[in-house]
Structure 1
Amino acid sequence: MKKVINTPYIKRVKKPWGYEIHFTQDDLPYMGKILHINAGKRVSLQIHDKKMESWYKLSGKVIMILGDKEGNLFEQEMEEGVGYTTTINQKHRLKALEDSDILEVSTPEIGTTFRLEDDYA
């Protein structure tokens, strides 16, 4: 029988747009975090060459900016009770219209993140 990992773990990471709460340990084969994005702020427009992310809005009002297969950007508001997944090399960005919390699960922090636009660089 496999042992359950039950070591309490939490890490808060300050970001210029708010903060992240990591609730999974770094050595696991996946990452779990809560993104808190302050009203009027947005994360970088980015792509990942090896990482996929899935999001679920916990609170607030959030706009996703996503790239289609041709790389054109479109906006879509996150709905209540719906999950969203970005694919490898898909452009993506989150923008909060009010203080917002998003649950994010993903592959581990692997590969390279390319920041195409960053409001805080």
Structure 2
Amino acid sequence: MLNETQIKLKPWGREIWFAHTDKYAGKILEVKKGHRYSLQYHEKKEETQYILEGKAKFTYGTEKENLQEKILEEGDKIDVLPYTIHRLEALENTRILEVSSPELNDVVKLEDDYGRSGKGNNEELDKNLS
């Protein structure tokens, strides 16, 4: 259980973790204009991302060779189910509210602009790249 808010620095911006229990998690992603997080999927984690402010391009699909793109603006939301390949690129500085199942380290990175790869998160590497 998360007792206090945590800031996680990322090379594309930062995450503000405000809730993490055995049943759900909540965080705010702040993605800097021109940056994007890794092309990734989750094996168990389900999430909903809601655009609080900004504008972003969301890439998603079930096959890497056949991904779709959608422009998201303030007030838009997208649901991400397990094994959905996805990536968000900020067209403006963008803040996203994410609510999800609790598996916050359940990520498989397929492509990454910052050289990160594989399963899970590496907080030390993220901090060094930010």
- TM-score normalised by the chain length of structure 1: 0.85
Cα displacement (A) at 1:110: 5.8
Q: Is the 8 A contact 1:17 1:41 kept in 2?
A: yes
Cα displacement (A) at 1:114: 1.2
Q: Relative to structure 2, which stretch is displaced further, 82-91 or 33-42?
A: 82-91
The amino acid of 2:16's aligned partner reads I
* 2:7 is aligned with 1:15: no
In the alignment, which residue of structure 2 is the partner of 1:116? 110
* 2:75 is aligned with 1:81: yes
Q: Equivalent of 2:55, from 55, 61, 84? A: 61
What is the identity percentage for the equivalent residue pairs of Structure 1 and Structure 2? 45
Q: Is the 8 A contact 1:65 1:74 kept in 2?
A: yes
Mark the runs of 5 or more structure 2 residues left unpaired by the alignment.
Answer: 116-130
List structure 1 runs of 4+ shifted beyond 4 angstroms: none
> Which of the pair is proportionally richer in helix?
2
Q: Is the 8 A contact 2:54 2:73 kept in 1?
A: no
The alignment of Structure 1 onto Structure 2 pairs a total of residues equal to: 113
Greater Rg, structure 1 or structure 2? Answer: 1
Output the CA distance in 1 between the equivalents of 2:77 and 2:54. Answer: 15
Q: Alignment partner of 1:62: what SS?
A: strand
1:44-94, CA deviations, whole angstroms, 9 ceiling, x for partnerless residues? 000111111101000111110011x45511110113323210111010000
Q: Alignment partner of 2:19: what SS?
A: coil
In the alignment, which residue of structure 1 is the partner of 2:27? 33
Q: Is the 8 A contact 2:54 2:74 kept in 1?
A: no
Cα displacement (A) at 1:115: 0.5
Output the CA distance in 1 between the equivalents of 2:28 and 2:104. Answer: 18
Q: Is the 8 A contact 2:45 2:82 kept in 1?
A: yes
Computed over aligned residues only, the root mean square deviation of the Cα atoms, in angstroms, reads 1.9
Q: Is the 8 A contact 1:62 1:78 kept in 2?
A: yes
Output the CA distance in 2 between the equivalents of 1:110 and 1:101. Answer: 18
Mark the runs of 5 or more structure 1 residues left unpaired by the alignment.
Answer: 1-6
Output the CA distance in 2 between the equivalents of 1:70 and 1:109. Answer: 22
